[in-house]
Chain A
Amino acid sequence: MALSYDQAVEKYEPTLGLEVHVELNTKSKMFCGCATEFGAEPNTQTCPICLGLPGALPVVNGRAIESTILIGLALNCQIAPFSRFARKNYFYPDMPKNFQTSQYDEPICINGYLDVEIDTDDGKMPFRVEIERVHMEEDTGKSLHVGGETGRIHGADYSLLDYNRAGIPLVEIVTKIIPGAKKYAPQVARAYVTELRDILRSLGVSDVKMEQGSMRCDVNLSLAPIGSGALGTRSETKNVNSLRSVERAVLGEVIRQSNRLDAGERIVQETRHFLEESGQTRPGRSKEQAEDYRYFPEPDLVPVVPDATWIETLRGQLPERPSARRKRLQAEWSVPDKEMDSLVNAELLDVVEETISLGAEPARARSWWLGEVSRLANEREVAPTSLITASSIAEIIVLIESGELTDKLARQVIEGVIAGEGSAKEVIEKRGLKVVSDDGALMKAIESAIAASPDTAERVRSGNIPAAGALIGAVMKATGGQADAAKVRELLLKHLGQG
């Protein structure tokens, strides 16, 4: 009988390790002045240095060092007073020098931590993930495999190399081993990567788009029988391309490994590949021999010795921590946890904050983004922020508050803006969506409705207030829904002697 996840975590204790690679958003590459633009024609952003031509030499991008130190500081790391680059030697066609200039035993940031929050059976719980190191390295070129069935490497006839990406600065963030997550290991992993991503975004050092590869996550996992105090053999899972996949990869590996262990089989220390469709992992190509990287200090580069003044200046540039910002906003807006979680999960905090800063009432700003805009966005399978801007929503909300738009009309305006008919004001103009609040015009419509249903009017006059609903409905219909329903009701009842 195969073990389920819940059964697995009753017997085994998972230990996690997470390695995240982040592509920095510097304008030029790590060791040369080539541009880092995404999507350029192949091999148009290369030079002797990033192509590894004979004789070429690297020169370090100062902004990359700054970004890395900022990341280290945001992760509560010690910034090493003395740090060196090292060569990691191995052969692969996407690596022009057949070594990667990276860092080995003298990384620039060490010993940090990141506090996250996870949902447990006992409510929200804080969890500290300890960080081993943050270091700098360079990205590889991109290969296209031609001739095989799936465009994958297996069965391909040949490969085509584009080195535009080679040499783009990468930062590697490695956690220490993470014990103690117990059955919440998948959530801890996801929470860590999420919080890390939000921090990196707030630092402005990377666009951290997992789907585009500017943030990549490798998940390490081992299991040991609960209470054994030992550490099991770990597997490393690559190709984890989304936050959800991080969670699923941990889950999948716990299930796989526990079932193997239960069956008395060994866990092989290997690199595995995450499969999106099934949530399972498959073994990578097994190598005949473990790779010996023969690290040695990079002789073409000199050590990085960041002085205390520089570090403190950078520390002063750190923005508010995302978790602190969330707490602050939640308090400011007096928002319950559930709604706050929704906002955070839907990644709407920034746009909501912006909408409020442009004059919209906070509760309305939240509900419009979480409500109508998210609904429309889900229909189209896009992000809410790609449909409409904060300034449009703010404009609309302000008009609602001043009575010039009803909620119903506002929805039509939003539709118009999304459809590209213009700004909110232009859509209102074009479609004639203004609330009819002119008493004279309303009275005309009211009198018509009364004239058309004299019996209903009579019932209202005799005290049957609910009957007014039909008349109000008729007036709304007559005005194309543009009357202010509350105003219509007020005037109608008054006219019929009931208000």
Chain B
Amino acid sequence: MAGISRDEVAHLARLARIEMSDSELDHLATQLDSILVAVASVQEVAQADVSPTSHPLPLTNVIREDLVRPSLTSDEALSGAPAKVDHRFKVPQILGEE
């Protein structure tokens, strides 16, 4: 498989919301390249007739009753907030569409 380019890493950094400098992107691209080579071996052995495992345990139908339980107080909920106004979390202006 072809190596991973700096542009691809930049795209991934955008998806992951991590700011990165050009040199960081380059460095990461090199490291990811070697990792990807090492992990590509999984494709050799992953045949079509093998089903994937998402959970190590065969549990199903774990549900709870529709009962109300005590919530945190708003003070507790906001206790870690970097900024708050009137019991709400204050966040910088959002660019995306709601």
Residues of A that sit less than 8 Å from B by CB: 26-28, 32-35, 41-48, 51, 59-65, 84, 91-94, 143-145, 147, 153, 156-163, 271, 273, 284-285, 287, 289, 292, 294, 297, 299, 301-306
Please state if A44 and B71 are interface contacts (CB–CB under 8 Å).
yes
Please state if B96 and A287 are interface contacts (CB–CB under 8 Å).
yes
The interface residues of chain B lying within 8 Å CB-to-CB of A59 are 62-64
Please state if B87 and A41 are interface contacts (CB–CB under 8 Å).
yes
Q: How many residues of B contact A (CB 8 A)?
A: 39
Known contacts A51-B77, A289-B14, A299-B54; decide if A60 and B66 are in contact (CB<8 Å). Answer: no
Q: In the complex, A161→B94 CA distance in Å?
A: 11
Instruction: Pick the 10 closest A-B CB pairs, nearest first.
Output: A33-B69, A63-B66, A62-B63, A160-B88, A285-B97, A161-B89, A297-B54, A43-B74, A302-B59, A284-B97
Q: In the complex, A301→B95 CA distance in Å?
A: 32
Q: In the complex, A28→B67 CA distance in Å?
A: 6
Q: In the complex, A354→B48 CA distance in Å?
A: 60
Q: Does B61 contact A (CB under 8 A)?
A: yes
Q: In the complex, A162→B77 CA distance in Å?
A: 10
Q: List 22 A-B contacts (CB under 8 A).
A: A26-B66, A27-B66, A43-B78, A43-B87, A44-B77, A47-B77, A51-B72, A61-B66, A62-B64, A62-B65, A84-B54, A93-B91, A93-B94, A158-B91, A159-B91, A160-B86, A160-B88, A285-B96, A289-B14, A294-B15, A299-B55, A303-B60
The interface residues of chain B lying within 8 Å CB-to-CB of A303 are 55, 60-61
Please state if A153 and B94 are interface contacts (CB–CB under 8 Å).
yes
Q: In the complex, A141→B71 CA distance in Å?
A: 16
Q: In the complex, A64→B90 CA distance in Å?
A: 31
Q: In the complex, A228→B54 CA distance in Å?
A: 44
Please state if A304 and B61 are interface contacts (CB–CB under 8 Å).
yes
Q: Does B73 contact A (CB under 8 A)?
A: yes
Q: Does B93 contact A (CB under 8 A)?
A: yes
Q: Which of chain B's residues has its CB closest to A157's CB? A: B93
